């Protein structure tokens, strides 16, 4: 398969993860709201999935390709990206409630913030496809030799995006936004992921020596996202629960980890 076909496949994988965010709006077709308890559990599941995908997928694969030092450099760079991104976002925070009434300038700001938030997840997908087309890379599908790691990361990030879709839909529901519009805005929030996937894939294909750093970069960015965003978000929601939601969060993390660990050793 040529480079263009490979890029298209990687884009489709990133698009699948973006579309999965829309699943987070589906519960609102049958219920008026998602309880705080379930919201915390969902954030916990997302955290467990992302951490296990980073450790058992990206970091272990990186160590197989390079040295611990290279992985460490990549992790540090990934964390630095998220730290800088957070500083930008804190100065230009976009409330999902404003999505429906955004003018052009506000829409550009929303796109910028969403790109910064979603890009590391897209990078993880793109890096996981680095061995695409290589002999013994994984399994054959429509003429492509797809790495197992790529399947693992696509599934992991798709599942992780569902709670994000729920989080986006909650304020939109309070505004009376229709269910299908909530699905659309949830998907919209993750559209930077296909772009990040394609760019990361192209970069590691032309700079193979940097592949271990790329694995570390994606892992560092995702782990830091969990620690700086997912867990604080869950605990904030869980303040109304007995025990401040720690039990629900821990249970969700355990469930997410147990869900993904078997896939890591396929």
CA 22 vs CA 71, 100, 164, 165: distances in Å: 33, 16, 9, 6
Profile the chain (266 residues) by mean pLDDT over runs of 10 residues.
80 91 85 79 83 83 86 90 70 53 51 62 83 66 77 83 77 74 84 86 78 84 82 85 88 86 63
pTM: 0.71
Domain count, the chain: 1
State the residue range of the domain holding 113. Answer: 3-264
CA dist 191 and 114 (Å) reads: 8
Q: What is the pLDDT of residue 104?
A: 47
Tokens 């693992």 appear where?
152
Asked whether 21 and 194 are in contact (CB, 8 A), the reply is: no
Predicted confidence at residue 137, as pLDDT, reads 59
CA distances 123 to 6, 27, 166, 189, 240, Å, are 15, 29, 23, 16, 35
- Alpha-carbon distance of 262 to 241, in angstroms, equals 31
pLDDT of res. 125: 87
The HSE-up count of residue 19 (CA atoms within 13 Å, CB side) is 8
Question: Which tokens belong to 20?
Answer: 């999965």
CA–CA dist 194, 11 (Å, integer): 5
* pLDDT at res. 175: 67
pLDDT confidence of residue 254: 92
Query: Do residues 180 and 28 lie in contact, with contact meaning Cβ atoms separated by under 8 Å?
Result: no
Rounded CA separation 192/14 (Å): 9
- Report the pLDDT value the prediction gives residue 12, as an integer from 0 to 100: 92
């Amino acid at each position: 398969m040529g480079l263009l076909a490979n890029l298209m496949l990687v884009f489709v994988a990133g698009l699948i993860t973006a579309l999965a965010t829309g699943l987070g709006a589906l519960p609102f077709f049958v219920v008026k709201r998602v309880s705080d308890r379930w919201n915390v559990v969902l954030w916990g599941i997302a955290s467990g999935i992302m951490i296990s995908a980073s450790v058992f997928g990206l970091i272990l694969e990186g160590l197989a390709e390079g040295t611990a030092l290279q992985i460490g450099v990549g992790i540090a760079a990934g964390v630095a990206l998220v730290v800088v991104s957070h500083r930008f976002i804190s100065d230009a925070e976009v409330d999902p409630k404003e999505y429906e009434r955004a003018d052009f300038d506000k829409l550009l700001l929303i796109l910028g913030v969403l790109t910064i938030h979603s890009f590391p997840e897209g990078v993880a997908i793109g890096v996981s496809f680095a061995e695409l087309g290589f002999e013994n890379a994984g399994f054959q599908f429509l003429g492509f030799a797809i790495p197992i790691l790529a399947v693992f990361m696509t599934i992991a990030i798709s599942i992780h995006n569902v709670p994000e879709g729920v989080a986006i839909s909650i304020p939109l529901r309070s505004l009376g936004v229709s269910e299908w519009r909530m699905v659309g805005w949830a998907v919209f929030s993750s559209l930077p992921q296909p772009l990040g996937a394609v760019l990361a894939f192209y970069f590691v294909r032309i700079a193979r020596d940097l592949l271990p750093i790329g694995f570390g970069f994606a892992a560092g960015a995702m782990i830091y996202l969990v620690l700086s965003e997912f867990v604080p978000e869950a605990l904030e929601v869980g303040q109304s629960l007995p025990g401040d939601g720690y039990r629900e969060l821990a249970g969700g993390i355990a469930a997410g980890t147990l869900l993904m660990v078997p896939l890591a050793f396929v």
